[in-house]
Amino acid sequence: MAISFELLHVDKHTGARRGRLHTPHGVIETPIFMPVGTQGSVKAIAPDDLRTLGAQIILGNTYHLMLRPGEKLVGKLGGLHRFIAWERPMLTDSGGFQVYSLAQARKITEEGVAFQSHLDGSRHMLSPERSIEIQQTLGADVIMAFDECPPSGSERSYLEDSLARTTRWLGRCVKAWRPDGPSALFGIVQGGTHEDLRRRHAEEICAHELPGFALGGYAVGETPEAMYASVAFSAPLLPVNKPRYLMGVGTPIDLATCVGAGVDMFDCVLPTRTARHGLLFTSEGRVQIKNAKYVEDTGPLDPKCSCYTCRTFTRAYLRHLFVAQELVAMRLNTLHNLHYFLNLMAEARAAIERDAYADFLKEVQAVTARTPSSRSS
Ligand SMILES: [Zn+2]
């Protein structure tokens, strides 16, 4: 197997886990947040910024990369790591989620999903075999099974058919995967917020001896409370000795809560996307940097933050850059938000080691309570 997971410690009072994931491109200390590099780039920043931030692993999106520049070109040029000049670990998704959310004229059959590119209308097919082939060509350290992400609020009967198909598709993914290659395959458990469906699907998916497992189908429109309750139920259904990845989640309080449920890995576009819209996460709550109250504010964005943006610039200047639409505003805001998310996970790891995770979670809840919740993704 290309990767191995060490479970170092479980917090005495919660389900929070401190672990270490060994991959061909380095070691990942968990729990971890993974910045999203959709098209082979974390928007607005470069790999040297990511290294300075201490990012341990980033994501690439199969859907985007297969359409542009195409996985064959990336493979010919030495694989995704070399192509984007990122020598640390990487994970690619299966392409499924974007096919369901972005592509046009989508048709799901037992074979796979036929769709038209959102870029030029060209016709494509993603199947379990094709998704695994693309991901192995890209060469990420962790690759994801091709599944269906049923829309939120799906009828139970639709959900049951979809889960059964995802289980059959996993069997095909496993056959297409080269376990002795550099890419480790993770299976994905779906089931919405239905406990019986999550349990049954976890049994089916975890019947395969895979290097890791993920929970999919969360943060798709259910309330945070419903997601927290369901993740608390579902995470312990996954094998104890394998990494557990909660896909597409979430806000700082989402991360902190779900770490407490025993999740090890997270990804979300939230910190990078909101940064480009001037919404910044701080130890004092959320800041909309364009607000007029920052016009003459000479304080740092976040007095408790040690990132380049907070060490160097005033709120007044960051507001000016954003309002004037200066390109560097995107970079400085992104640096700060990613630092906030990565630091949150570093603090979570330290709290787990001290068996003080419950207190840490309360602190994150207190920061969240200081600003009105406006979940956006
Ligand atoms: Zn900062």
Q: What is the pLDDT of residues 19-51, one digit of tens each?
A: 999 999 999 999 999 999 999 999 999 999 999
Q: Would residue 293 count as lying in a domain?
A: no
Please report the pLDDT score of residue 372 as a whole number.
52
- For the chain, residues with pLDDT lower than 50 are 373-377
CA angle, residues 44, 48, 54, in degrees to nearest 5: 100
**Domain count of the fold of the chain:** 1
Per the structure block, which two tokens stand in for 137? 């060509």
- The answer for residues whose C-beta is within 8 angstroms of residue 42's C-beta and 6 or more apart is 35, 36, 50, 55, 58, 272, 334, 338
Q: Would residue 337 count as lying in a domain?
A: no
Catalytic one of 93, 147, 264, 302: 93
Expressed in angstroms and rounded, the spacing between residue 282 Cα and the centre of ligand 1 is 8
Please report the pLDDT score of residue 6 as a whole number.
98
Q: CB atoms < 10 A from the CB of 240, how many?
A: 10
Please report the pLDDT score of residue 374 as a whole number.
45
Eight-state DSSP code of residue 221: S
Q: Would residue 108 count as lying in a domain?
A: yes
Expressed in angstroms and rounded, the spacing between residue 241 Cα and the centre of ligand 1 is 35
pLDDT digits over 290-307, tens only? Answer: 999 999 999 999 999 999
Expressed in angstroms and rounded, the spacing between residue 294 Cα and the centre of ligand 1 is 16
Q: Taking the model in full, what pTM does it have? A: 0.97
Q: Which of 158, 237, 173 is nearest to 202 (CA)?
A: 237
Is 355 labeled as catalytic in the residue annotation? no
Burial 314-334 (b: 16+ CB within 10 A, else e): ebebbbbbbeeeeeebbbbbb
Residue 66: CATH number of its domain: 3.20.20.105
Expressed in angstroms and rounded, the spacing between residue 54 Cα and the centre of ligand 1 is 14
Q: Would residue 64 count as lying in a domain?
A: yes
Q: Would residue 176 count as lying in a domain?
A: yes
E-assigned strands of 229-372? 244-246, 265-267, 279-282, 285-288
Q: What is the maximum alpha-carbon separation in the chain?
A: 61
E-assigned strands of the chain? 4-10, 17-23, 26-30, 32-34, 58-60, 90-92, 104-108, 113-116, 123-126, 142-144, 184-189, 212-215, 244-246, 265-267, 279-282, 285-288
Give SS3 for 131: helix
Expressed in angstroms and rounded, the spacing between residue 3 Cα and the centre of ligand 1 is 33
Is 267 labeled as catalytic in the residue annotation? yes
Expressed in angstroms and rounded, the spacing between residue 64 Cα and the centre of ligand 1 is 30
Q: At what angle do helices 252-260 and 357-369 cross, to 10 degrees?
A: 160
Distance of CA 132 to the CA centre of its chain: 19
Q: Would residue 42 count as lying in a domain?
A: yes
- CA–CA separation, 316 and 262 (whole Å): 40
Catalytic one of 11, 141, 267, 302: 267
244 Rama class: left (phi>0) / alpha (psi -120 to 50) / beta: beta
The CA–CA distances, whole Å, from 109 to 127, 162, 165, 190 equal 9, 11, 9, 18
Expressed in angstroms and rounded, the spacing between residue 332 Cα and the centre of ligand 1 is 9
Q: CB atoms < 10 A from the CB of 232, how many?
A: 16
Per the structure block, which two tokens stand in for 180? 């002795």
Per the structure, the complete domain to which residue 89 belongs is given by 4-274
* AA identity, residue 221: G
Q: Would residue 340 count as lying in a domain?
A: no
Give SS3 for 27: strand
Expressed in angstroms and rounded, the spacing between residue 266 Cα and the centre of ligand 1 is 21
Expressed in angstroms and rounded, the spacing between residue 5 Cα and the centre of ligand 1 is 31
Expressed in angstroms and rounded, the spacing between residue 281 Cα and the centre of ligand 1 is 9
Q: Would residue 111 count as lying in a domain?
A: yes
Expressed in angstroms and rounded, the spacing between residue 74 Cα and the centre of ligand 1 is 34
Expressed in angstroms and rounded, the spacing between residue 300 Cα and the centre of ligand 1 is 8
Task: Give yes or no for a cis peptide into 47 (omega within 30° of 0).
Answer: no
